[in-house]
Structure 1
Amino acid sequence: MRSSLTRPGLRKIASLILLLGLLALSQAAWAAHGEARPEKRGVLLVAFGTSVAGADAAYVNIEKKLKEEIPGVEVRWAYSSKIVRHKLAGGEKPVKLDSPAEALAKMMDEDFTHVAVQSLQTIPGQEFHALSETARSFSGMPKGMKKVAVGLPLLATTQDLTRVADALAQSAPKERKVGEAVVFVGHGTKHPANVYYPGLQYYLWKKDRLAFVGTVEGSPTREDVLAELAESNVKKAYLVPLLAVAGDHAHNDIAGDEPGSWKTVLTKAGIACVPVLKGTAESDAVAAIWVDHVKAALAQLGTDK
C-alpha cells in the first residue's frame, strides 16, 4: 500500500523531530547551568567590626561555638563598617575584610546556593535593616543564590531578652561585693529598636536589682543610670560593655579618661568605677543565643533535597 505522505510532508515531520530534539537539548543545557546545580550552603557572619587589637577574640568565640554546634558548616566574615575596613587595610599589617555585599558576591561566584547571613548586632536597628536589604538583593538572583536568609540580632524576641538577662547576671564580675552595682553600657540609637535596652533592663532587674542598662547614644541615658545609682546609694560600679566586642566605644566612651566618658562622669559623681573590657560575644551563654539565631536562619533556607 502506498503511503499518503508526500515528500513535503515528510520534510515537515523531519523538521519537527529536529526542533523537538533541539528543545530537549536546550532544556538539558539550561538544567545543567541552573536548576541542576548541587546545593551548597554557608553562613556569613556580619559584624560592625573592630580595629582594636585583641578585641576580635569575641568574634573568634562565636565562630568556634558555631562550628561546634554545626560541624562542617562553611563560615565567612564581613564587616559592615567602611571606616574599620579601611583602617585595617591601611595598618602596618594590612588585613582585608569584605563588606557584606562583597562577601555575598564572592560566595555567589563560588556557587553557594543557600546562605544564612547572621547579624552580630545587639538590636535590630539601622545596621540590621541595612544588612537585611543587602541580603535580600542577593536572594533568588538569576544564576545566583537560590535563597538567602538573615538571622536575627542578639535581642529580637522576649525569649532573647530573658536569656540575655540571665547570661549578663551570671557574667557579673565575681569580685563584686554586696551593695556594688554593675552597669551594662550599650551603643544606643535614635531608631525605634532602642526600646530593647529598657526592655532588657526590666528583665535584668528581675535577676539583680543593682544591675543597670545604659547607652552611649540612646536611652536609658547616663543621667538615667546616675539617678538610679544615687537612689540605690551605690558607691562602686563595674562598667561592662553591652557590645559584641570591647572596641573603640568600650575603650573610649565607657572606660576612657576623657571628660565625657562614663568612667569619668561617674567618678566625679562619687562612684568608684571598675571597667571590665570584655565584649558580650566572649560569653559562651551570649554566643549561644547568636548561634541559635544562625540555626533558625539555616532552617528558613529549606532544602532542594
Structure 2
Amino acid sequence: MKTRLMSVVVVVTLILFTAVAGFASGGHGHKAPKKVGILLVAFGSSEASAQVSFDKLDAKVKQKYPEIPVRWAFTSHIIREKLAGQGKHFDSPEVALARMLDEKFTHVAVQSLHTIGGAEYHDLRKTVGGFKAMGGFQKIILGYPLMSTQEDMEKIVDALIDIIPEKRKKDEAVVLMGHGTHHPSNAFYAALMFQLQLKDPNIIVGTVEGYPGIDLVQDLILAKKIKRVWLMPFMSVAGDHAKNDMAGDEADSWKSILTQAGIQCIPVLKGTAEYDSFADIWVSHIEGPLSHF
C-alpha cells in the first residue's frame, strides 16, 4: 500500500513540475494571455443517483458563468477508484489543476462543494496553497464551502425549514444526518441545531462520524416523547451514507435503531445540492475568488 501511495505521489509530482515548466517556457518571458477557469471540487459519490446533485450544480455554475470553462475533481480516492471500475474517470484536485496548467489557464477559482470546512476542505486548501507557491497560475483562489459564515448559517436554516415535507406535523421530529468529522469544524453541526431549534424545537441534527451521534439523537427524541420522525440527509448528495447508514435495513442504521426504540421513521432520500436554495449558496461563493481576478 505504501509503495502504491509513493508511486502516486511521484506521478503527480512529475505531472505538476512538467506542467509548470511547460507553462513557464511557453510565455518566453511574456505574461500569458488571461484565461479564467473554475474547478468544482466535491468529495464524490459512486452512487448513480448522486449524479443528480452534481448535474444541478454544474448547470447552475455554467448558467451564471457561461464564458468560463468548468472542470471537476473528487477528493476521495476511494470514490475515484470505484468510479474507475465503472468506466468513469474523475481527477483528484492535484491532477485536475495540473491539467489546467497544461491547458494554459492563468486564473483559477477552486470552489469547494463540501458542506463544512472540515478535513477534506483543509486538505484542499493545502493543495491550492501548493499550486500558489509554485507560481504556475497568476492567481488561484479557494472558495468557501456551504456553511462558512453566520450569513450562510441563516440561509441554511431557512432553506432546511423550507424543504421539510409538507406532510410532517409539528409534533413529529425532523432528524438531519450530517457526515461529521474529527476536525474542529464539526462544531458547526451543533451550532446549526441550536439555530434551527430557535425556529422549530423538533429539528435535530446528528452526524455519522462526529458529534452529535445517533445515541444523543435518540435520547433527544425519546425525551420529547416523539413517536414519528422524518430522516433527511444534510449532505450534498443522497449517496451511501443516506441510503445505508440513515435509511438502510441493517441493524446499525439510524432507521433501524430508532425503529427498535419504538419510533416510526420516514426517510427522505434527497441531497441538499438537489435543492436550488442550497445549490445557490455554493454558486454564490464562487463570486469571492472571481472578484479578485
TM-score, L = length of structure 1: 0.85
Give the secondary structure class of the aligned counterpart of 1:54: helix
Residues 48, 81 of structure 1: 8 Å contact kept: yes
What amino acid sits opposite 1:256 in the alignment?
Answer: G
Identity %: 49
Instruction: For residue 235 of structure 1, report the CA deviation from its aligned partner.
Output: 0.9
User: Structure 1: any 5+ residue segments left out of the alignment?
Assistant: 1-28
User: Displacement, 1:73?
Assistant: 2.0
CA distance in 2, matches of 1:76, 1:98: 10
2:109 alignment partner, SS class = strand
Query: Which residue does the alignment assign to 2:212?
Result: 220
Q: Residue 173 in 1 paired to residue 165 in 2?
A: yes
The range that moved more, 200-209 or 62-71, is 62-71
The aligned runs of 1:12-27 (5 Å cut-off) are none
Higher mean displacement: 40-49 or 64-73: 64-73
Contact 1:140 1:146 in 2 (8 A): no
The one of 38, 49, 58 equivalent to 2:33 is 38
Which of residues 113, 117, 120 in structure 1 aligns to 2:110? 117
Q: Secondary structure at the match of 1:207?
A: coil
The answer as to whether partners of 1:42 and 1:115 remain within 8 angstroms in 2 is yes
After superposition, residues 1-305 of structure 1 pair within 5 angstroms as 32-91=27-86, 94-139=87-132, 141-142=134-135, 144-300=136-292, 302=293
User: Is the contact made by 1:166 and 1:207 (CA closer than 8 Å) also made in structure 2?
Assistant: no
Mind listing any 5+ residue stretches in structure 2 that lack a counterpart?
1-23
Verify the 8 A CA contact 1:100 1:134 in the aligned structure 2: yes
Residues 232-286 of structure 1, C-alpha deviations (whole Å, 9 max, x = no match)? 2211111111111011111111111111110000111111111111111111001
CA apart distance, 1:296: 1.1
Q: CA deviation at 1:64?
A: 1.5
Deviation digits for residues 79-134 of structure 1, max 9, x if unmatched? 1111111111112xx01100000100000000000101111111111100000111
Structure 1's 108 and 226: CA in aligned 2 closer, same or farther, altered over 3 A? same
Quick one: which amino acid aligns to residue 50 of structure 1?
S
CA distance in 1, matches of 2:109, 2:151: 21
- One-letter amino acid of the counterpart of residue 76, structure 2: S
In the alignment, residue 285 of structure 1 is paired with which amino acid? S
Deviations 1:47-101 (A, max 9, x none): 111111121111111112222222322110001111111111112xx01100000
Task: Give structure 1 regions of 4+ aligned residues with deviation exceeding 6 angstroms.
Answer: none
- 2: CA distance, partners of 1:125 / 1:135: 15
Contact 2:170 2:202 in 1 (8 A): no
The answer as to whether partners of 1:77 and 1:98 remain within 8 angstroms in 2 is: yes
Question: Match of 2:182, as an amino acid?
Answer: K
Asked which structure has the greater CA Rg, the reply is 1
Over the aligned positions, Cα root-mean-square deviation in angstroms equals: 1.6
Deviation, structure 1 residue 33: 2.9
State whether residues 49 and 238 of structure 2, in contact with CA within 8 Å, keep that contact through their aligned partners in structure 1. Answer: no
The AA in structure 2 aligned to 1:170 is D
Shift of 1:182: 1.0
Deviation at 1:140, TM superposition (A): 5.4
Structure 2 length normalisation: TM-score? 0.88
- In structure 2, give the amino acid aligned to 1:261: S
**Distance across 2 between alignment mates of 1:229 and 1:272:** 11
**Partners in 1 of 2:177 and 2:83 — Cα distance?**
25
